Amino acid sequence: MSEKKPIRYAFLQIPNYSMVTFSSAVASLRGANYISKETLYEWEVVSMDGAPVTASVGFEVTPTIHVNDLNLNGLEAIIVCGGTYIDRAYDKSTLSFLRKVANAKINIGSTCTGSYLLAAAGLLDGYKSTIHWENLASMREEFPNVLMSSNLFAIDRDRFTCSGGNSSLDMMLQFVSNHHGPELAAAVSEMFIMERIRDHHDTQRIPLRLHLGNSQPKLIEAVALMEANLEETISLDDLAHYVGVSRRQLERLFQKHLKCVPSRYYLELRLNRARQLLLQTNLSIIDVSLACGFVSAPHFSKCYRDFFGIPPREERRRFSPGQSVRAAEESLNKSNQSHAEKLALEGILEKAEEGINQSMNADTQGTLPDQ
């Protein structure tokens, strides 16, 4: 079997970059190498002038290469590491370099506020993107052609961005999963004591007041009531009555400031809560649906699939494969296993998966109420 070359990333450090976001991204690659006992990934730390760049915490990581000496051939991606005061942390040469990378058809990503530089270079127009929630409103204002979201990270064709903190770990583990399978990504997440690997559906928790300021107290009050009544939902007429406006006024407020009707916003709140319960608890799917105000499990499953693109059972199975299955999968990945041994392990794995799926879905095998 021919050996594959390691996948190579370059991290471009921008002054005052976020150390935690940078180190989390690198740690995911190091963890994949450590667990696999192979050099699956290589990485380089790059700066515009070849000198160490000071992070926002005051520390420095010595770059391995000057940006002009970076070999773009065979490079998987360059990742721009941003942080505080990003609007004053770059110059024209930085933007020119990023455009050069884009013209070379290299994937380009960012951590924390690095997406600001990609947008400033004109490399995010028409792309889905994210940034730390403190910078979200200003990004939308300054770069209207960028499809900004409040998600933890966004991957769109040859661009990828994450919001900050340890979200870079989740984003890079998505790539590890794509390159080498979800089992390796899960093993890395366990090594770092992660509860689960969050994906692009997960959002940053952004206080609504930061979106709206203090100018819309009625709207903020309405959303607070929605959030407090997810299991036993409130009708829109009652909601409008509680906040002291007409239903038509309430609908106009939601449409103007949140770009959706109240019923849609309420549904998304319930679905996001359902996803948290699904992935973080052992509640049955029926119990999850009831806890989030759905009249039946089939109705909940349809809404969940329409919104997240995956049925709730499949979502739970994907994130909770079970210890015995993972152990068998790790054995499959050992390079010194013979072909016959691998076939035997695959048989064990199939049986283990069937047993786990039957156990996990036991609560939902009975007759469900009609919608």
Instruction: Give the residue from 214, 218, 213, 169 showing the smallest Cα distance to 192.
Output: 169
- For residue 155, the surrounding DSSP H or E stretch is strand 153-156
Residue 45, pLDDT > 60, answer yes
State the pLDDT at residue 47. 95
Q: How far is CA 369 from CA 111, 114, 283, 297, in A?
A: 46, 49, 18, 7
State the pLDDT at residue 351. 46
**Confidence class for position 251, pLDDT limits 50, 70, 90:** very high
Condensed to tens digits (0 to 9), the pLDDT of residues 185-244 reads 999 999 998 878 888 778 776 666 666 666 788 998 999 899 889 999 999 999 999 999
In sign, the C-alpha dihedral spanning 290, 294, 295, 297 is negative
Domains and CATH numbers, the chain: 7-191 (3.40.50.880), 208-317 (1.10.10.60), 321-364 (no CATH)
Token pair 């906040």 in the structure block, residue: 243
DSSP character at residue 364: G
Q: Which runs of consecutive H residues, i.e. helices, occur in the chain?
A: 19-36, 92-103, 114-120, 133-142, 167-180, 182-191, 208-212, 217-228, 236-243, 247-258, 262-280, 285-291, 297-308, 312-319, 323-332, 339-360
Residue 366, pLDDT > 70, answer no
Condensed to tens digits (0 to 9), the pLDDT of residues 65-82 reads 899 999 999 999 999 999
Q: Taking each helix axis from N to C terminus, what angle separates 182-191 and 323-332, rounded to the nearest 10 degrees?
A: 120
Position 215, amino acid: S
Token code pair at residue 195: 């509860």
Condensed to tens digits (0 to 9), the pLDDT of residues 329-355 reads 443 344 334 443 444 444 444 444 444
Rounded Cα–Cα distance for residues 56 and 53 (Å)? 10
Show Cβ contacts of residue 289 under 8 Å, excluding neighbours closer than 6 positions. Answer: 274, 296, 297, 299, 300, 301
Condensed to tens digits (0 to 9), the pLDDT of residues 316-334 reads 887 654 433 343 344 334 4
| Beta strands 60-61 and 53-54, pairing class | antiparallel
Condensed to tens digits (0 to 9), the pLDDT of residues 118-163 reads 999 999 999 999 999 878 867 888 899 999 988 899 999 999 999 9
Residues across the chain: 371
